[in-house]
Amino acid sequence: MNAATKPRDDFAPRWREGLDEEYAALSATLERLVPCLEVPLHLPWIDAIRRLKRERGAVLMAHSYQSPEIFHGVADVTGDSLALAQAAATCDAEVVVLCGVHFMAETAKILAPRVKVLIPDARAGCSLADAITAADVRALRARHPGAPVVSYVNTTAEVKAESDACCTSANAVQVVEAMGADKVIFLPDRYLGAHVASRTDVQLVLWDGRCEVHETFTAAQARRARERYDARLVAHPECPPEVLAEADFVGSTTAMGAWLEREQPERVALITECSLADNLRLQFPATEFIKPCNLCPHMKRITLQNIHACLRDLSGEVIVPGDVAARARRALERMLAVGRRDAA
Ligand code: 13P
Ligand code: SF4
């Protein structure tokens, strides 16, 4: 265990004095995950958000790439994009605040049309969702008549509406095979698509979208983490193939957690967005996390301050036009029917 992850039972900073038990415990947790001096700055915002959530009857859903003060401090539901979609599909809250990127908030709105879905910063986008338009999908269909379209949830509602089914990295192979076709158009992530193609006999037509965060990892970086720190390597399938080839395990955000549970490695490098390691560290105190550290600039647009403003003003409402939502919902429901497959 490295110094940063050691519980600091011997050390109770001044700001914990006067806090009730719940907040003293939260402070102790956050002191292990974020720079210690930030904690007293976060606590008043966390308290104000918790109060507003109760007043508004709101549920706060946070993706695993959100910063620890959001993930541990204010979220009611946490998880990968599939878990958030599944939670939205059964949600009967008045308001959902989606702490993640815009396609996740759109997905929640499509699956929970009666819920007011808010996103704290509507500019929180995704390079994959920006990589393809609905017109591109129609052109692909014209070039490959009869081939069904499976789109990654990292797409706009308009692209989902042109698709036969959606998938996440947790069920991509199973969704592709559920199409019952010899050839499937898979979009927009070329690297996830190549990974899926290596695990199925279905022929995939790929698109050239990439995640701007995962595409920057290199095989040399992965090898260095293994050689220098004697770390096991776990990679998200949005990484380039030469990075995946170095990994001990390739899987979705949730599957990485399940792998850690099974393997209990002494040292691990998660080759993915940085905050995932922060958020998993508490669950695995005996594992040392080597952080290659690529932050998603879109995920990091969400802050305690803009969550507070969005709850206070009920601002940032996500609207999806009815006809688009109805067609996109069909594609999302086919994904939900397949469920989670790679983390069992
Ligand atoms: P997950 O589907 O694993 O949550 O990944 C979403 C994402 O944006 C990865 O970069
Ligand atoms: Fe999109 Fe990549 Fe950020 Fe995920 S990490 S939201 S795929 S840009």
Ligand 1 near 253 CB (within 6 A): yes
Ligand 2, pocket residues at CB < 6 Å: 101, 126-128, 154, 211-214, 238, 273, 296, 298-299
181 alpha carbon – ligand 1 mean position (Å): 26
Q: Express each pLDDT in 310-338 by its tens digit.
A: 999 999 999 999 999 999 999 999 999 99
Give the number of the ligand closest to the Cα of residue 78. Answer: 1
Percent of the chain with pLDDT over 70: 96
Among 342, 343, 335, smallest CA distance to 164 is for 335
Ligand 1 near 66 CB (within 6 A): no
Which pLDDT does position 10 carry in this prediction? 60
| Dist CA 136 CA 131 (whole Å) | 10
125 alpha carbon – ligand 2 mean position (Å): 8
Provide the whole-model pTM.
0.93
Tell me whether residue 216 is annotated as binding.
no
Ligand 1 near 252 CB (within 6 A): yes
Which pLDDT does position 1 carry in this prediction? 43
| Dist CA 168 CA 119 (whole Å) | 21
Q: Hey, which residues does 269 pair with through a beta bridge?
A: 233, 290
**Average pLDDT score over residue span 251-268:** 94
Pocket test for ligand 2, best of 101, 123, 207, 236 (most atoms within 8 A of CB): 101
101 alpha carbon – ligand 2 mean position (Å): 8
| Dist CA 46 CA 52 (whole Å) | 10
* Domains of the chain, CATH where assigned: 13-124+299-313 (3.40.50.10800), 129-210+321-343 (3.40.50.10800), 219-290 (3.40.50.10800)
154 alpha carbon – ligand 2 mean position (Å): 8
Beta-carbon count within 10 A of 7 CB: 13
Percent of the chain with pLDDT over 90: 89
Tell me whether residue 298 is annotated as binding.
no
Which pLDDT does position 344 carry in this prediction? 45
Using the predicted structure, report yes or no on whether residue 172 has a pLDDT greater than 60. yes
DSSP for 261-303, please give it: HHH--SEEEEESBHHHHHHHHTT-TTSEEE---B--TTGGG--
Q: Express each pLDDT in 205-250 by its tens digit.
A: 999 999 999 999 999 999 999 999 999 999 999 999 999 999 999 9
Which pLDDT does position 11 carry in this prediction? 67
Radius of gyration of the chain (CA): 20
Q: Is 92 exposed, middle or buried (0-12, 13-18, 19+ CB in 10 A)?
A: exposed
